[in-house]
Amino acid sequence: MAELPGSKNLSWCFGMCAVALMLVLSWAGLAGAAPSVRGGAYMLQIDGAIGPATAAYVSEGLERARDEGAQLVIMEMDTPGGLDKSMREIIQAILAMPVPVVTYVHPSGARAASAGTYILCASHVAAMAPGTNLGAATPIQIGAVPGQPDSRGGQGAGKDNAAAGAPKSAGERKAVNDAVAYIRSLAELRGRNADWAEQAVRDAASLSARAALERNVVDIVAADVPSLLGQLDGRKVVVNGRSRTLETTGIALVRVEPDWTTRFLGAITDPNIALMLMMIGIYGLFFEFWNPGSIVPGTVGAISLLIGLYALAALPVDFAGLALIVLGLGLMVAEAFAPSFGALGIGGIAAFIFGAAILFDTGAPGFRINWSVLAGVAVFSAGLIIVVARTGIRSLRRPVATGREELIGASGKVLDWEGGSGHVFVHSERWNAAGPASLPAGAMVMVRDIDGLQLSVVPEASDLTGEGEDG
């Protein structure tokens, strides 16, 4: 296989860049643990889309609060929604807590949309800051049904719109009814407005903080944490069937930060990072196969590929998109090994882009592939295909360097000769040869033809018509 010009330097640069990216991802997660305070209020923060990392952080934070004897847990929340699986993990952790959990939509301008609404309904105390909103809890796959409000949208639709956009297929009705039953059970468990909770799912309805308080959707509206603690003091909540009175006057606050493993998980489960890790892995192995012994690209590529596959396992993946990506990569690799002057490579890039665009089977905010990332990967792949195509074209213009054709016309040296045959040394190899009746040892000859493993030679000074050749 022809070697790419400057490919070794390219491989090392690739390896160093990939190592730098992985170090940044790792260092981004380093954070010190806050000291424990028995009987304090442990504070967690949900900021952004809810995914596997958020679920791990909340579950670990609640477990720590329980083990260290916290009096209550306050979860500050600002989320546009997230993955159903991660949301349910958080809700299960809240329902299993022997410690009251207060979910607080804060600061002003924050929201508890979609998955955030379910978590708010599941909490022992639901609180909001002025200027915040909640709702739009329609399952995301149903939110795009024509005529139905966007699941990330604002106020709920009226009856006419709701009827026009009602789920039509059995699968859609099943998803909506399951979500309705789930959110109603949570609202009824906490003694809140279950009818509005159902409306938030069926009609994607939303409410402001003040309207939510008036309609018994939340329990408290507080401008800040001190105000929230003041309203919680003396409040009775039911935890695991037993009534408890909260005492929050002078309570110590302990802010629980995610550890480095949770931060790292959050980084790699970003679909854009997961896609880039996959590409680093694939191209790293590609460079290693192209230049065996480079070591760095192969090592970094294998690690990146495994991390990327782990991230894909934690995310909802569309298998059609994954199949298109695999097809695209296969075509690009085929272009490298069997150059088709760009035909296979261009097809591979197109398949890869379409596959990456539909790779993640979710419309949840924060879990989409950015087009800028797709464009960057496509440009890099196209550049690599161009380099490979140029190498293939150059190889066609070069003289033959191996095989029968390369031996014809090659020079050699006579080792021994007797009766029109003997042995010659050609290209550092000892060959059987036939030719003129007599040739002195050490004479220079030229290969005229090859028959099996025997060369036909003539003296180098002779022409190929046989002049000077004996019989």
Same structural domain for residues 140 and 219?
yes
**pLDDT at position 293, please?**
73
Tens of pLDDT, residue by residue over 222-265, are 999 999 999 999 999 999 889 999 999 999 999 999 888 888 88
With pLDDT > 70 as the criterion, what percentage of the chain qualifies?
77
Least confident residue range of 1-5, 186-190, 448-452: 1-5
**Ranges 281-285, 301-305, 422-426, 448-452, most confident:** 422-426
Answer yes or no: is pLDDT of 298 > 90.
Answer: no
Supply the mean pLDDT for the chain: 80
Query: Are 389 and 342 found together in one domain?
Result: yes
User: In terms of DSSP bridges, do strands 411-418 and 421-426 run parallel, antiparallel, or are they unpaired?
Assistant: antiparallel
CB atoms within 10 A of CB 202: 22
90 and 197 fall within a common domain: yes
> Contact at 8 Å (CB) between 411 and 426?
yes
Establish if 468 belongs to a structural domain: no
Tens of pLDDT, residues 195-208: 999 999 999 999 99
Q: Which residues of 308-317 are buried (b: 16+ CB within 10 A; e: fewer)?
A: beebbebbeb
Q: Smallest Cα–Cα separation from 123: which of 70, 86, 72?
A: 72
| pLDDT band at residue 467 under the 50/70/90 scheme | very low
C-alpha–C-alpha distance, residues 134 and 177, integer Å: 20
Is residue 21 over pLDDT 60? no
Element (H, E) at 45: strand 41-47
Higher pLDDT, 154 or 100: 100
Give the containing element (helix H, strand E) for 424.
strand 421-426
Same domain, 300 and 447: no
How many percent of the chain have pLDDT more than 90?
38
The reply to whether 413 falls in a domain is yes
Confidence of residue 279 (pLDDT cuts 50, 70, 90): confident
Mean pLDDT of 15-44: 60
Residues 424, 357 within the same domain: no
Q: Tell me if 291 is assigned to some domain.
A: yes
Total domain count, the chain = 4
Q: How far is CA 75 from CA 36, 124, 127, 147, in A?
A: 17, 11, 10, 35
Instruction: Give whole-number Cα distances, 412 to 285, 420, 440, 453, 468, in Å.
Output: 42, 16, 13, 15, 17
Residue 118 lies in a domain: yes
Q: What mean pLDDT is predicted for residues 163-187?
A: 80
H or E stretch at 458: strand 454-459
Domain boundary among 369, 398, 427: 398
In 3-state terms the chain splits into helix, strand, coil percentages (rounded to 5) of: 45, 20, 35
Q: Is residue 344 part of a domain?
A: yes
* Domain end point (choices 368, 398, 428): 398
Asked whether residue 18 carries a pLDDT value surpassing 50, the answer given is yes
Residues 166 and 249 in one domain: yes
3-state secondary structure string, 145-210?
A: CCCCCCCCCCCCCCHHHHHHCCCCCHHHHHHHHHHHHHHHHHHHHCCCCHHHHHHHHHCCCEEEHH
Q: Which is higher by pLDDT, 85 or 153?
A: 85
Q: Is the peptide bond prior to 107 cis by the omega test (within 30 degrees of 0)?
A: yes
Sign of CA dihedral 268, 271, 276, 277: positive
Q: Which of 372, 398, 424 is the last residue of a domain?
A: 398
Burial of 434 (0-12, 13-18, 19+ CB in 10 A): middle
Q: What pLDDT is stored for residue 295 in this prediction?
A: 78
pLDDT at residue 312 above 90? no
- The whole-number average pLDDT for the span 149-158 is 37
Residue 328: inside a domain: yes
Strand partners, 417: 422
Structural domain that includes position 445? 404-459
- pLDDT for residue 374: 82
Q: 197 and 340 in one domain?
A: no
Distance linking the first and last C-alpha atoms of the chain: 43
What band does 4 get if pLDDT is binned at 50, 70 and 90?
Answer: very low
User: Which of 125-134, 148-157, 293-302, 398-407 shows the highest mean pLDDT?
Assistant: 125-134
Q: 240 exposed, middle or buried (CB, 10 Å; 0-12, 13-18, 19+)?
A: exposed
Do 279 and 231 reside in the same domain of the chain? no
Same domain, yes or no: 204 and 132: yes
Task: Give the list of residues 6+ apart from residue 70 with CB closer than 8 angstroms, or none.
Answer: 38, 39, 40, 41, 42, 99, 254
Mean pLDDT on 178-198: 95
In a domain, 121, yes or no: yes
What per-residue confidence (pLDDT) applies to 23? 55
**Joined tokens for residue 184:** 């109603």
Q: Which residues pair with 3 in a beta bridge?
A: none
pLDDT for res 76: 97
Query: Which pLDDT value is given to residue 7?
Result: 47
Confidence of residue 129 (pLDDT cuts 50, 70, 90): very high
d(CA 265, CA 256): 17
Lateral strand order in the sheet of 253-255: 220-221, 125-128, 101-105, 72-78, 41-47, 253-255
* Residue 464 belongs to some domain of the structure: no
* Whether residue 184 is found in the same domain as residue 156: yes
Q: Within this chain, do residues 59 and 190 fall inside the same structural domain, yes or no? A: yes
User: pTM to 2 decimals?
Assistant: 0.67
Residue of 5 and 50 predicted with greater confidence = 50
Q: Is the same domain home to 233 and 328?
A: no
**pLDDT tens per residue across span 427-446:** 888 999 998 888 888 899 99
Q: Quick one: CA dihedral 166, 169, 170, 175, positive or negative?
A: negative
Confidence band of 157 (pLDDT split at 50, 70, 90) = very low
Q: What is the reported pLDDT for 78?
A: 96
